[in-house]
Amino acid sequence: MRPKPIKGSSSPWNPGTKHGSMSKIPTNLPKNAPVSKKKKKKYSQNPQHGHKPVQEEGAVKAKKHLGQHFLKDESVAQKIAQTLSLKGYQNVLEIGPGMGVLTKHLLQRDLDLVAMDLDDESIVYLNHSFPLEHAAILKQNNRLNIVEADFLRFELTELYGDEQFAITGNFPYNISSQIVFKMLEMRHQIPEFSGMFQKEVAKRICEGPGNKTYGILSVLVQAYYDAEYLFTVPPGVFDPPPKVDSGVLRLTRKKELTLPCDERLFFKVVKTAFNQRRKTIRNSLKTFNLSDNLKEDAIFDQRPEQLSVADFVTLTQKIANDPV
């Protein structure tokens, strides 16, 4: 099912909102037909079908302040596109499509795709050159909407209502953790999440207890999702190349979405505990003003990195039942 048009738009496929705008990729577009009112950069096109278009140098430049590193390896993009199972949903949101390297591989699957980017240069490119360069793919699947918006501020229910949707992408490194936290807020609508992070972040999300990289993201994500680290990607497949390796992961939502404890308190306990991860739970949770009797419990002798998700649930239950 297609995402819902945003309220207040003059056209169902060209709405405008406070935080973004959306347009549908046109099909059968004449070469010189204008697609966007924005000033366009010029892109050279290779008319030979099946050949990669030659892009003028600097067509869309990666912007450091947006954390952009454009993926240029087709095989890696194809592998990421295949990480989604599409079980129980057809809507997919791609964050940070850039110049559509991953986008075109996603469109070769049976899904409805929204490509969301904050970079206006990328939006112009996706609206103008992408449909010309990949006309054959769009002929098979034209269910692509381009949205210019800040993912962290955009109200996703304006796109999907209460429908299920997956998230994927080559995520901007500077907001990758924030993307995961927003995904957790909408976990009831997001059955699957996959994509590329800095390797360190991807490993941390998937890490188990007893390891120094195990932390807040590990516990909160794994409370609701099964986390798999899939493969490592070297710097050389990006433009510009980052200074570190990247990693691709997949998160699959668990059947049981409700924890057997106060979930707000659970989030608070996990975050507070790891803010002083070198201390024991007894010391890191001093601000909770717990009773002396409760603090004698053996679980308070451990450090946060030693506690599993189930242990944190038990700890939250104990704190909630503390008479103080």
Residue ranges of alpha helices (H) inside 129-175 are 130-133, 135-140, 157-160
> Cα(34)–Cα(28) distance, rounded to whole angstroms?
13
Homologous superfamily of 263-320 in CATH?
Answer: rRNA adenine dimethylase, C-terminal domain (1.10.8.100)
Percent of the chain residues past pLDDT 90, beyond the cut: 66
CA distance 281 to 322: 15
User: Distance of CA 175 to CAs 44, 66, 190, 309, 321, Å?
Assistant: 32, 9, 19, 24, 36
The fraction of the chain above a pLDDT of 70, given in percent, is 78
Assign 50 a pLDDT band (cuts: 50, 70, 90). Answer: very low
Query: In this predicted structure, what is the pLDDT of residue 188?
Result: 97
Q: What separation in angstroms does the CA of 31 have from each of 46, 120, 123, 211?
A: 12, 21, 18, 55
What pLDDT, on the 0 to 100 scale, is given for residue 3?
59
Domain with CATH 1.10.8.100 in the chain: 263-320
Residue-wise pLDDT tens digits, 154-189? 999 999 999 999 999 999 888 899 999 999 999 999
Coarse DSSP helix, strand, coil percentages of the chain, rounded to the nearest 5 percent: 35, 20, 45
**Location of each CATH 3.40.50.150 domain in the chain:** 20-253
The Cβ-side half-sphere exposure at 192, using a 13 Å CA radius, reads: 21
20-253 has which fold?
Rossmann fold (3.40.50)
Extract the runs of DSSP E, i.e. beta strands, from 107-169.
Answer: 112-117, 144-149, 165-169
pLDDT tens per residue, range 70-106: 667 899 999 999 999 999 999 999 998 988 999 999 9
Residue closest to 60 by CA, chosen among 147, 120, 104, 2: 120
Least confident range from 26-30, 269-273, 296-300: namely: 26-30
What integer best gives the mean pLDDT of the chain? 83
Q: Which residues contact 181 (CB under 8 A, 6 or more apart)?
A: 220
Q: Give per-residue pLDDT as tens, 108-117.
A: 999 999 999 9
Query: Above 60 in pLDDT, residue 9?
Result: no
pLDDT of 266 above 80: yes
Does the pLDDT value for residue 62 go beyond 80? no
Distance CA 77, CA 82 (A): 9
